[in-house]
Chain A
Amino acid sequence: MDTIFALATAPGRAGVAVVRVSGPAAWTACEALAGRLPRPRLASLCRLHEGGELIDEALVLVFESGSSFTGDPVVEFQTHGSVAVVNRLLAALSRIDGLRPAEAGEFTRRALENERLDLARVEGLADLIEAETEAQRRQAMRLFEGDLGKRVEDWRARLLRAAALVEAGIDFADEEIPQDIWPEVAALVQRLIADFSAEIAGIGTAERLRHGFEVAIVGAPNVGKSTLLNRLAGREAAITSEFAGTTRDVIEVRMDLGGLPVTLLDTAGLRETEDVIEAIGVTRARERAEAADLRLFLGGEDLGISLQAGDILVAPKADLQPGGGGLRVSGRTGEGVDALLAEIQRELSDRLGATQTAVRLRHGEALVRAVTALDSATELLYMPEDVAELIAEQIRQAIRAVDSLVGRIGVEDVLGEIFASFCIGK
């Protein structure tokens, strides 16, 4: 087995850089560079040399196999965060026998192979590393903590119970087994369909949370969309002027809204226009606004964009038009902006299920397969003929689908997908 190494922290200049080495030769590599092997899990200051030349002074951490992240013997060098130091250290490591640079995601792969993590937890870890906001961190942490794995065990136990009931009726026809197993089977199947469906319904939002929500500001030309965007962003992201049709392209501003990752979209004012460039902008505005998670309608909703549940109507330029009810906002003075932000946050937070454990498209696809199988089973349950063997087959399919969530089958395909999204050294 090879020993692998890579920079575990972001490349570039920083206070500290961490280089991680994992595999059977990790400790000998440490001895070769540091001249000694510090006691495991005790941070030790060492001078790293190669060929008599000092590379850097570093904090060295040694882990035994079985108590490291990957499950292999591991060494971590915490050097000064200098590009030159890191490059020199990596070069020195590559010259040690049995060591090679890690492939993308290979540390995590080893953790999976060594049963330190299951498939769902690996996905959780990937999300955790990508997390930028508090809500993203919470969701990733649930996955990384193994919540999905626990739920899968529960689902699997209930599916196995249903399967066992049906199979008993098939394989022990001559025995005195209870005849009327079907009500229990039907109840188990119905509850599972309900559970799976609830998870599936929440996956869209969970996916949005991973990638960020899009909030589009729409309205007629010159109602103050760009001024509002700049106020929300706290900087001059969009050009503003008194001329209608100033904004042509869609302007995006990423922000952390109370822990939620939100991308604000400023769009071209919606109107019929002879200007070819502006017409393209209007088309784009409509497309992006329709696809966004939430729309802020400035100054009226009758703009040829459909109002969807949760969308917010805003009365703009509150400083120029005093009076009136509703959510009154002024981009120029900041009036009503806090209330608007609170409203957006409340609306998006409401969409997040507190107990959502399935968070990825892959999870959703597996659960949809399970529901499809169980729906067919339900249909078969009400057939006049005894089709127990077909019901059993559908339940079996559902079990396979649920198993694939934690990687019990289809290991290879799922792995390829997951590890493709990993960056080196994590």
Chain B
Amino acid sequence: MKHDFDVIVVGGGHAGCDAAAAAARAGASVALVTLKLQDLGTMSCNPAIGGLGKGHLVREIDALDGLMGRVADRAGIQFRLLNRKKGPAVQGPRSQADRKLYRAAMTQEITEYQRLTVIEGEVASLVLDGRTLRGVRFGDDAEVTARAVVLTTGTFLNGLIHIGDEKSPGGRMGGRPSIGLAEQIKSMGLATGRLKTGTPPRLDGRTIDWDGLEEQSGDDDPAMFSFLSSGPVARQISCRITHTNERTHDIIRQNLSRSAMYGGHIEGVGPRYCPSIEDKVVRFSEKASHQIFLEPEGLDDPTIYPNGISTSLPQDVQEAYVRSIRGLENVAILQPGYAIEYDYLDPRGLDLTLALKDHEGIFLAGQINGTTGYEEAAAQGLVAGLNAARFALGQDPAQLQRSDSYIGVMIDDLVTQGVSEPYRMFTSRAEYRLSLRADNADQRLTPLGIAWDLVSDARKRAFDAKLERIDAAREILGEISVSSRALNGAGIRVNPDGPRRNALESLALPGAGIGALTQLVPELAGFDPVTLEQIGRDAMYESYLQRQRKDVEALQRDESWEIPGDFRYEDLQGLSAELQGKLKRVKPRTLAHAGRIEGMTPAALTLILAHLRRGERKRA
């Protein structure tokens, strides 16, 4: 085995895989250390990728040539575009994935990287020289040196699994906790918090009475994650929907005290957007029923993931309430649901590259930073892996911004605000939502990916060709003039006596679509639908995008006020102790960054600005 790498990635989950691959693409020699080889890309929770906000993240990962989009497309057994009836900015691709296909596709992707070595083993500790990383030590005492490490160890810090009043230490079901590394990280003086999350019982699909359950099929026109995929590979299936009922709720209510969560066994904070069935019954007692999506875990796997009833009730209660549900009267539980509590490291200790601020060469990604979800993990992995490689190779940091990507929004949220519940992406977190669309992720990020040497030649060629087509079509549209009468005739709501417009302006009219315009501009028939759709969407949002560009410029003005790392907040008289503490912890890089800190006041910002200006005057 090689004993020196540029980057070592610890953990082979979603964050670890995309971290290792990004580091390798960026030119580093990489070791990916995982406890079990066959665990690469394991989906430990629900068998689905994408959704609102999350689908955007996957598309952005793909635009930077990351793995998750390609792998999800190969493993996808149902594709749905959420919010299809709403505007394109808030449409999110989502898929059901076959667990085994996903693992296999991920393993294949990883093994194709020449610069990437997978090591099966357990990292027992980091080798540090003061606060600088020198390498890692394995369970068998072997040492490997490296310039940077990416820790993607998920819930392994003080992980505690609850089923009713039974608890056992562990990461996920069947995973073993790495005690040594956890102890070392805890001793490094980083701030931590405690979170919890839950899973539902896994059901045996062969014991479900499927007849009469509402069917939810995939889209006829599936939206893929990867800009390079053309369509699904695996056989496509449907999900079914069933509902809890009053009897289910009665059983849960009668046994509430036996739930780990309600029995007072759990101290961690759970996500508000993903409550357990106990929570739903208690907090929304007026609802007579809650929906459950029965999601197959694979094409040749009978396991069903009942999305919507995560629980920490004892096994016998789980059985009783599940069997009160229509279609599940005789169901067999393959694995009981459980809640897991774990420590996370306060991400406010990280910079925008996800490196620990007061150490050299240590990067963190995924659940360890307080996030939840495969997509959030993979996106962080990509950024951490890329930057670990650039750090090891002596290159400048590569950073994403709130104005260019959901990934930038997420990382900025994490390092600025920290988390108070498991952090999940939503489209409403992105203030530039109308310009950060899933369909234009490549135009936003692939050029950056090319600049950072992350992108393969094949993708670069495809991207350049797409841009050429879009520019060509846009040019034609800009030159062709259309009368209002013709537009009105094509069903677009416009005064027929209005002025002539060029075709691009016409597209921006409310209710105008590329379809209606194609009738009027026959030259467009030569362009592919993807190109035309893209142009139509940009036109639809144009007036909003102009305003957002102004906002971005204002933000960049504030961003241009850099705050030195050694800025002495204690010298600012009148700053509350609380804000002073926050500022010292976060060490905002710029005035705009400081403005996003939770609880920040205009007065405090003015104070910082005034001092920055005073410093500038003195220098000048």
Contacts and interface: CB of A to CB of B under 8 A. Distances in A.
Interface of A: 1, 24, 65, 71-72, 109-110, 112-115, 118-119, 167, 170-174, 176, 383-390, 392-393, 396-397, 406-412, 415
Interface in B542-570: 544, 547, 554
B427 A411 contact: no
B602 A1 contact: no
A152 B445 CA distance: 39
Given A170-B428, A176-B290, A393-B544, 17 more contacts: A1-B571, A65-B574, A110-B574, A113-B574, A114-B603, A115-B574, A115-B604, A170-B52, A170-B86, A171-B428, A172-B273, A386-B85, A389-B427, A390-B87, A392-B433, A411-B605, A412-B609
Nearest to A66: B574
Given A114-B603, A119-B602, A411-B605, A388 B86 contact: yes
B82 interface: yes
B510 interface: yes
Contacts of B604: 113, 115
Nearest to A394: B544
Contacts of B51: 174
B213 to A, nearest CB: 17
Interface of B: 51-53, 82-83, 85-87, 89-90, 273, 287, 290-291, 426-428, 431, 433-434, 510-511, 544, 547, 554, 571-574, 576, 601-607, 609-610
Nearest to B290: A176
Contacts of B571: 1
A170 B52 CA distance: 8
Most buried by A among B53, B89, B574: B574
Given A115-B601, A119-B602, A412-B609, A72 B574 contact: yes
B573 A112 contact: no
A384 B576 CA distance: 50
Contacts of A392: 428, 433
A389 B510 contact: no
Nearest to A388: B86
A114 B85 CA distance: 49
Nearest to B611: A1
A388 B83 CA distance: 10
B544 A390 contact: yes
B83 A112 contact: no
Contacts of A71: 573-574
B573 A24 contact: yes
A113 B52 contact: no
Given A115-B601, A167-B428, A388-B86, A411 B574 contact: no
Contacts, number: 100
Contact of A113 (B86, B544, B603): B603
A173 B89 contact: no
A338 B502 CA distance: 67
B284 to A, nearest CB: 10
Contacts of A389: 86-87, 89-90, 427, 433-434
A49 B371 CA distance: 65
A1 B572 CA distance: 7
7 contacts: A114-B573, A167-B428, A386-B85, A387-B86, A388-B86, A388-B90, A411-B609
B89 A171 contact: no
Contacts of B427: 170-171, 389
Contact of B606 (A171, A383, A387, A415): A415
A187 to B, nearest CB: 21
Given A167-B428, A411-B605, A387 B574 contact: no
Contacts of A396: 431
A411 B602 contact: yes
Q: Which 9 pairs between the two chains have the least Cβ-Cβ distance? A: A114-B574, A167-B428, A113-B607, A115-B603, A407-B602, A171-B426, A389-B87, A389-B90, A71-B574
B17 to A, nearest CB: 26
Contacts of B572: 1
A407 B607 CA distance: 13
B332 to A, nearest CB: 27
Contacts of A415: 606
A113 B601 CA distance: 9
Nearest to B51: A174
Contacts of A410: 554
Contacts of A119: 602
Given A389-B90, A389-B433, A393-B544, A171 B576 contact: no
Nearest to A404: B602
Given A112-B606, A113-B607, A115-B574, A173 B428 contact: no
A171 B87 contact: no
Contact of B82 (A173, A388, A393): A173
Contacts of B574: 65, 71-72, 110, 113-115
Contact of A173 (B52, B434, B601): B52
A76 to B, nearest CB: 19
A389 B511 CA distance: 15
Contacts of B602: 118-119, 406-409, 411
B53 A113 contact: no
A65 B601 CA distance: 19
A24 B287 CA distance: 60
A290 B86 CA distance: 52
B431 A170 contact: no
A69 to B, nearest CB: 12
Contacts of B89: 389
Most buried by A among B51, B82, B83, B572: B83
B573 A115 contact: no
Contacts of B86: 170, 173, 386-389
Nearest to B554: A410
A312 B51 CA distance: 68
A389 B431 CA distance: 11
Contacts of B291: 176
Most buried by B among A171, A388, A390, A397: A171
B389 to A, nearest CB: 34
B354 to A, nearest CB: 25
Contact of B573 (A65, A118, A386, A393): A65
A415 B431 CA distance: 25
B572 to A, nearest CB: 8
Nearest to B87: A389
